[in-house]
Amino acid sequence: MLVGRGARYAPEEGLQLVEAAAERDDTAALQLLAVLSALGAGRPYSWGEAVRLVARAAELGDVQAQGQMRLLGDPATFDLAEWFGAAEAQQLCQAPRVLTITNFFPKPACDWIIERARPRLEAARVNNPTTGGSSIEYNRSNTGAGFSVLDSDLILELANARVAATIQIARQNQEPANVLHYDPGQEFQAHFDYIDPAEPHFTDLVRQQGQRVATALIYLNDDFEGGETAFPRLNWSFKGKAGDALIFWNTAVNGALEKGSLHAGLPPTRGEKWIYSKWVRDRAWPLV
């Protein structure tokens, strides 16, 4: 991990600096250590310790930590299993595999994520097969906010852990979270989430970073009209209630690209649409 963006990559040294700051009751350091504890990155995996660290930051008056604790509850009785209680899942398709889940994530936690993302929104970008890198393109007009480990918190990590547990792929394989926002008329036209290795600029990308094997979308609100996630080749679309999830696989079990996973984020006709988006690779993703 890095202490800050732009710093040289020195994980052990960085962790020592963060731990020293936490011992001085630096609330930002306490919360970063909490995220690392929830990940088991650089320190033992422990949600109990993670919640304890955020509770300490809350006691010191940190507003973000206090907001998390209102959702997490008493650190002495925090139970990770309560966040992953029974939910109704339905498999809609075998090729590609498509799964919808009701009550995937609590509504108050969805509201928390929306408010964390709102001040961070910027124009959403797409990977560019022609020039490489990412760019703003005509086929995508929505905005979004990204959250790396340095930006994360325990509510975001609970969403990430929920995704990992559901699809049985390690949390370490997830790309940084993106919260997607659509105003009326904004859209993301039909596209694939997999990275096509046949595209010259994507060949090395897939070899170095792995393939996006699955996509998980958590619907953070439902007070909008329109805005479905549409799969034109499946002749099917989905619009979840707040806290519902849509999960689909971009590759088959044998690794073949799933052409049926073509999908679009349709524009809302009224109200704002908020989605928590996770891309999952077939190998571990760097923490930052």
| CATH code for the domain of 275 | 2.60.120.620
**Do 63 and 171 reside in the same domain of the chain?**
no
* Angle at CA of residue 193, ends 191 and 198, nearest 5°: 90
Do 95 and 168 lie in a common domain? Answer: yes
Burial 113-150 (b: 16+ CB within 10 A, else e): bbebbeeeeeebeebeeeeeeeeeeeebbbbbbbbebb
Q: In the structure encoding, which two tokens stand for residue 63, read together?
A: 């507003």
* pLDDT value of position 78: 95
Q: Which domain holds residue 185?
A: 89-281
- Do 247 and 202 belong together in one domain? yes
Q: What percent of the chain has pLDDT over 90?
A: 84
Residue 270 and residue 135 share a domain: yes
State which of 78, 100, 129 marks the end of a domain.
78
Answer yes or no: is 1 within a domain. no
- Domains of the chain: total: 2
111 shares its domain with 240:
yes
What confidence tens digit (pLDDT) does each residue in 128-168 have? 776 767 778 889 999 999 999 999 999 999 999 999 999 99
Q: What is the pLDDT of residues 211-264, one digit of tens each?
A: 999 999 999 999 999 999 999 999 999 999 999 999 999 999 999 999 999 999
Q: Mean pLDDT across the chain, nearest whole number?
A: 93
Inform me whether the pLDDT recorded for 6 exceeds 80: no
**279, 215 in Cβ contact below 8 A?**
yes
Closest CA to 210 of 280, 134, 270: 280
Residue 157 shares a structural domain with residue 275: yes
The structure's pTM equals: 0.93
Q: Is 192 exposed, middle or buried (0-12, 13-18, 19+ CB in 10 A)?
A: middle
Q: Is residue 286 part of a domain?
A: no
Judge whether residue 269 has pLDDT over 60. Answer: yes
